[in-house]
Amino acid sequence: MVIKEENKNRLSFALMNLMHGMKKGMEECCGECGDISEKEFIIINLVGQSKHLKMTEIAENLSAPVSTITSLVDKLVEKNYLTRYHSNEDRRVVLVTLALKGTDSFDNFNAHKEDATTTILSGFSAQEQKNLIEYLERIPILLEKNK
């Protein structure tokens, strides 16, 4: 398959703009919380999606050492975004769940995400929406194959 240089440049530029926009959105959400970093924000959202996670699951999901995650979770527990507790089945297992402040941040993020997806999809017909989603879902698969 022949790939035009112009298409490579346009795709690269479009992806950079998309990543910049997503980073800006994350910074806005962090700013609204006032006292969390982007890494802490990612952990809050990861835990919020799962309701509760093991510390090791957070580390695996973020491809980070457990010691790094422990440090970040410690800060989020201190700031009342997360609650940490031991599993009833195995006391060695440490679980993390959202505290009230974390739930508020997670809900705020979801509201921003809902607005953004509605704004994006409203610019496309139903068929274009379907195609866009299929193409975006295919990108990580293609990148993974290339490793």
The pTM (predicted TM-score) of the whole model is 0.78
pLDDT score, position 56: 92
The helix (H) or strand (E) run that includes residue 54 is: strand 52-54
Domain of 111?
Answer: 5-145
Contact (CB, 8 A) for 105 and 35: no
| DSSP letters spanning 59-121 | HHHHT--HHHHHHHHHHHHHTTSEEEEE-SS-TT-EEEEE-HHHHHHHHHHHHHHHHHHHHHH
Angle (nearest 5°) at CA 28 between 22 and 33: 130
Question: pLDDT digit string (tens) for 119-132?
Answer: 999 999 999 999 99
Backbone angles phi, psi at 146, to 5 degrees: -80, -10
pLDDT score, position 83: 96
Domain of 78, CATH number, reads 1.10.10.10
pLDDT score, position 33: 75
Contact (CB, 8 A) for 55 and 96: yes
> Which portions of the chain are predicted below pLDDT 50?
none
Question: pLDDT digit string (tens) for 47-62?
Answer: 999 988 999 999 999 9
